[in-house]
Structure 1
Amino acid sequence: MRLISISAGKVAPLFGNHHPNYKSVASAIRKNVVSDLENPISVEITALGVLGDEQADLSVHGGIEKAIYVYPSEHYAFWNELLTRETKKPVDLQRGAIGENFTIEGLAETEVFVGDRLQIGVLEFVVVKLREPCFKFNAAMGYKGASKAMLQSGFSGWYLRVLKTGALNAGSVITVIPGSRETSIAQQNQKLLNNRNQKDLWE
């Protein structure tokens, strides 16, 4: 298990006809890689996440409890195939495209539980909750069904709180320190999916 890349982004207008009330909305979902395996630059990780990263709506992203968004690299094949089929044009998403700060390999939602600690390099984090996709994710992907596809697939990723700050670079090994292991990210995802289906809460 290791960290493949670290990404950060700035708040900017996000366009797309993916919500009845918005034609353009502020978002920092578009992230750029600042450290990867080819160029493993050390990046400062603060209590609020990757130094220089921004969030447009702190009620749903960012802050102490959602400082870092983690996404498994293994899911990219799913998104490239789905978006290529649905948008009728070739899609090859680059790391950070899902809006994540840490792109990782070797660890999935079924194996990660709320309260687990992740030691990445010399830094330490705790798993807080899954990522709940919204219409901004649809707009960023250019596909109105992206949020629904994220929940249906279970490929949601998860948020971390930073326990130990400092410098971190791509290529760092990830070690899981189990917590109480009562609720996995996959179980959280299934519960949210069921609730949205029951209440028909799809954008």
Structure 2
Amino acid sequence: MTPVPLGQVAAVLRGAAMPFSDRPGSRSAIAKQAITGPVPMDAAGVQGDEQGDTRIHGGPDKAVHQYPLDHYAQWRSEMGHLPVLERPGAFGENIASTGMAEADLCWADRVRMGSVLLEVTQTRQPCWKLNTRFGLPDMALRLQRTGRTGWYYRVLALGTVQAGDAITLVARPYPAWPLARVIGVLYHRVLDAALLRELAALPLPAAWQKLVARRLEQGTVEDWSRRTQGV
């Protein structure tokens, strides 16, 4: 397909894993800092970036997290002034972007930013660490309800990326599945069997395949409390 402009990189961010919250053993690299100049990106994501819990963060299907900077104004209008929203990185993202959101990307889209080629692998399933970071007990659930979750990529071609780079769509194999629609099935139309069967036909990560199969087989929705509340 002819490349299509989607948006622009506003910031590239990375962070070090460190003790997080008052929970024993809890670590996180959610407090990421913007980096100036070209930043190398390899199969693990932004070089130098870390994850506090590699059981649920990082890996090839969650190598790079992008979050729309455009959402920040909406969050501020809903929640008032919060210091964490004063600069990119509030949501632990590696790429803060402008000009695009969950409705503008589809499942398995391939995009280029800088000299890096990326493939959309999944939307974010927000966890309780956002509650701590924002000082709000339901921040993870707010992301779910609003659909302003951000998304993850795998890295297909290594290279560098920096603030100011264009983000360009180069392939769209599943145009019927914008990320906003995926999020709607995950968190709103949770037991719509027809939609779940359509979703199951996509190239889903293994954990997502199990989630969709369990909903179809059991007719029940998984418990979100451990992920969103840490309990």
Task: Tell me if TM exceeds 0.5.
Answer: yes
1:189: how far off? 1.3
Gaps of 5+ in 2: 1-6, 192-219
Q: 2:107 pairs with 114, 135, 148, which one?
A: 114
Q: 2:32 maps to which residue?
A: 31
Q: Comparing both structures, which one devotes a greater share of its residues to helix? A: 2
Q: What does 1:33-72 align with in structure 2 at a 5 Å threshold?
A: 33-35=34-36, 41-72=37-68
Cα distance per residue 1:73-124 (max 9 Å; x no partner): 1001122333437xxx666431011100001111110111111001112221
The alpha-carbon distance between structure 1 residues 162 and 199, as it changes in their structure 2 partners (threshold 3 A), is: closer
Q: Comparing both structures, which one devotes a greater share of its residues to strand? A: 1
Partners of 1:184 and 1:128 lie apart in 2 by 12
Q: 1:19 maps to which residue?
A: none
Q: 2:179 maps to which residue?
A: 185
Partners of 1:129 and 1:108 lie apart in 2 by 14
Larger radius of gyration: 2
Q: 1:6 maps to which residue?
A: 12
Q: Give the structure-1-normalised TM-score.
A: 0.85
Q: What does 1:143-158 align with in structure 2 at a 5 Å threshold?
A: 143-158=136-151
Conserved? CA contact 2:84–2:134, under 8 Å:
no
Partners of 1:90 and 1:66 lie apart in 2 by 27
1:179: how far off? 2.1
Gaps of 5+ in 1: 17-21, 36-40
Partners of 1:32 and 1:91 lie apart in 2 by 12
Q: How many residues are matched?
A: 190
Cα distance per residue 1:99-152 (max 9 Å; x no partner): 000011111101111110011122210000101101111111111110111011
Which fold has the larger relative contact order, with Cα–Cα distance below 8 Å and residues 6 or more apart in sequence? Answer: 1
